[in-house]
Chains A and B, each alone.
Chain A
Amino acid sequence: MGTEAGAQQILAGLKEAGIDLVSSVPDINMLQLINLLYADKQITHVPVGREEEGVGVCAGAHLGGKKTALLMQNGGLLNSCNGLTTTALQFGMPIVLLIYYAGDIGDNAFHMVGLVTEPVLQGLGIKYIVMRDPTKVKQDIAGAVTLANSSKRPVALLLTRAVL
């Protein structure tokens, strides 16, 4: 489920880094964060039914001037690979991917998804940070947003249970 404090820190980090639209598909470990997004007035929250839709929503929102992030589980990263490749990367769209790292060391479910997550990001040419240190959450988010904007590419943040 994550903690309230962890979720608040991530949300504050996103706002401070200028993110103003978040598309999402839930994961139990991000429940608190998603609840905060539903309640938040400053960030436009766009829930979608499948993660690749979220790539499209973020890409379209970028064209309209929003600074975007896509919140999902790493299974959803696998669902979005074509959209990430032929829309986000091929057109050069900055999208911050906030991905819950299921199957990471210490996580009890989806070990196969955990196993392929980093190789898939590497194969796509998407730079990423594995977020394990709660004291560096804002720094990691700001770094990802900075690189997404300057490179005009998606950048991924893999959220582990330690920071949620």
Chain B
Amino acid sequence: MKRFECLQAIASLIRDELFVTTAGGATAEWNGIHPSDGNIQVKTLGLCSSIGLGLALSLPKRKVFVFDGDGALWMNLGSLATIGLHQPKNLIHICWDNQQYESSGGEPTVATAGKIDFAGVARNAGIQSSCAATTIEELKQAVGHALSHDGPHFIWVRIEAGRAEAPPLPYDELENKYHFIRYVEETEGINILRVPMPASYLLK
């Protein structure tokens, strides 16, 4: 199955969740399918799972999706252990595994040899709700379960390589960040950017 059809299936299940998307094809495809200020792109390969963890811990009542890739997850495999340690109930971590570094030209990743079981790694790192989805139906079921149950959740999805036609993001990182933060401020009723009085001015 293709990532694009998987993402379309997820779009039919969600409401106001937040999405952290990896440096790779998933970002443009997801923003094409579900354009929202609740989407934040990631530029550091591997770091989306850690960013998702920080976001989930700071907004424990909000569901946070992470769209990871096999190359990115390999680079930060330790983040699974860290998520397993902290147990964020609201984190839904999905690894789109196309068995290659697609954005870098298709070189092999650790997944290419077919030896690694990412769901098994996640489970043994302490993420109990961890599964592999091999069909769209299984994926929808797993995401539906993750949306209605406490996590953390990890879903491993092996997909066909190849990118759907999707326009590039309409904004750069800074604009993306400001849109995202304003969206969180508005939907959570909190203030993030305004600092009432600088700390150094309060010192005696």
Contacts and interface: CB of A to CB of B under 8 A. Distances in A.
Interface of A: 16-18, 21, 23, 44, 46-50, 52-66, 68, 82-83, 86-87, 90-93, 138-139, 141-143, 145-146, 149-150
A87 B203 contact: no
29 contacts: A17-B199, A18-B195, A46-B53, A46-B57, A48-B82, A53-B47, A53-B79, A54-B50, A56-B76, A56-B79, A57-B50, A60-B51, A60-B53, A60-B55, A60-B58, A63-B51, A63-B54, A63-B55, A64-B54, A64-B192, A65-B185, A87-B42, A87-B51, A139-B203, A141-B199, A145-B199, A146-B201, A149-B198, A149-B199
Interface of B: 20, 40, 42-44, 46-59, 62, 76, 78-79, 81-82, 85-86, 173-174, 176-177, 180-181, 184-185, 188, 190-192, 195, 198-203
B47 A47 contact: no
B78 A58 contact: no
Given A60-B50, A139-B203, 5 more contacts: A55-B50, A62-B54, A63-B192, A91-B174, A149-B199
Given A53-B76, A64-B184, A83 B203 contact: no
Contacts of B76: 52-53, 56
A87 B44 contact: yes
A50 B188 contact: no
Contacts of B177: 63, 91-93
Chain A interface SS verdict (over half): helix
Contacts of A65: 58-59, 184-185, 188, 190-192
Contact of B86 (A46, A90, A141): A46
B43 A56 contact: no
A66 B43 contact: no
Most buried by B among A60, A138, A139: A60
Contact of B203 (A18, A48, A52, A138): A138
Contacts of A61: 54-55, 57-58
B171 to A, nearest CB: 12
Contact of A56 (B49, B173, B184): B49
A83 B201 CA distance: 30
A52 B54 contact: no
